[in-house]
Amino acid sequence: MNRQPNLNFPKRGILLIPIAFVLMIFIAKSTETINSGKAGVLYKTFGGGVVVDEPYMDEGFHFVLPWNKVYVYEVRQQELFEQMQVLSSNGLEIRLDASAWYQPQINNLARLHKEKGENYLDRVIKPAIRSAARSVVGRYTPEQLYSSKRDVIQQEIFIETKKILDKQYIQLNEVLVRDVELPPTIKNAIERKLKQEQEALEYEFRIAKAKKEAERQRIDAEGKAAANRILSASLTDKILQEKGIEATLKLSESSNSKVVLIGSGKNGMPIILGNQ
């Protein structure tokens, strides 16, 4: 008995192909891989938008419904380079080169996305650091900015910028002032002034050193004079005669031939006659 070929199987196979294709697309759209150093914010299309009451999506593989979306943020420390034109306390234009180290507050990442958006660098950080720099630099003269106050203004800019960014879900780690550029005429005038001040300090140092040396010599001379006065007052005729006798006795012990005449010299001092 001959069997009729089953024609339903090819038809069913053809129908399974689009189903499998749709299933593959569904699976592909339902996964999200978050790389190292990044975190995700979930947006539910039919569930109230940005999810702020759940933890952020950490590194790794995640299943997400295809009609929802994940916004991925860099959460490692990043660096912003900024060149700014600001005014000093006397109205002179100063060019300030600075950089900021920052990163999102990871526990507030969803709020940052919801309220500030992905372009938070231009919307929040740059305006904040520019505002702080203008405020801080405006307190100082060009001379202070050029010489001794760079570390101070760097710290003040950091403090003022951080106050702003802490409320905007951004963590500021450091602000570095790399260069302060003054107008050439002002810079040259400051350098001349600093050179003159240095020369004046050097001159004062030399004068002070000379005064100290003169004082040292005066004290030394007074000490020697006082010692001589004491010595002169203590040297009586009897002491001198005794010292002479002691010296004579030492000479008499020498192997050289000599004649010693006791009491023949002035004031009774001995006279030593050599072999010649």
pTM here is 0.60
What's residue 68's pLDDT?
86
- What values do phi and psi take at 33, rounded to 5? -110, 120
Helix (H) or strand (E) holding 71: strand 69-74
Q: What is the pLDDT of residues 71-129, one digit of tens each?
A: 999 999 999 999 998 888 888 888 889 999 999 999 999 999 999 999 999 999 999 99
Contact predicate 82/130, CB 8 Å = yes
Helix (H, G, I), strand (E, B) or coil at 62: strand
Q: Is the pLDDT of residue 271 over 60?
A: no
Give the range among 213-217, 237-241, 255-259 with minimum mean pLDDT. Answer: 255-259
Choose between 141 and 188: higher pLDDT: 141
What's residue 115's pLDDT?
93
Q: What is the pLDDT of residues 139-186, one digit of tens each?
A: 888 878 776 677 888 999 999 999 999 999 999 999 999 888 887 666
Tokens matching residue 109: 């990442």
Q: Is the pLDDT of residue 254 over 80?
A: no
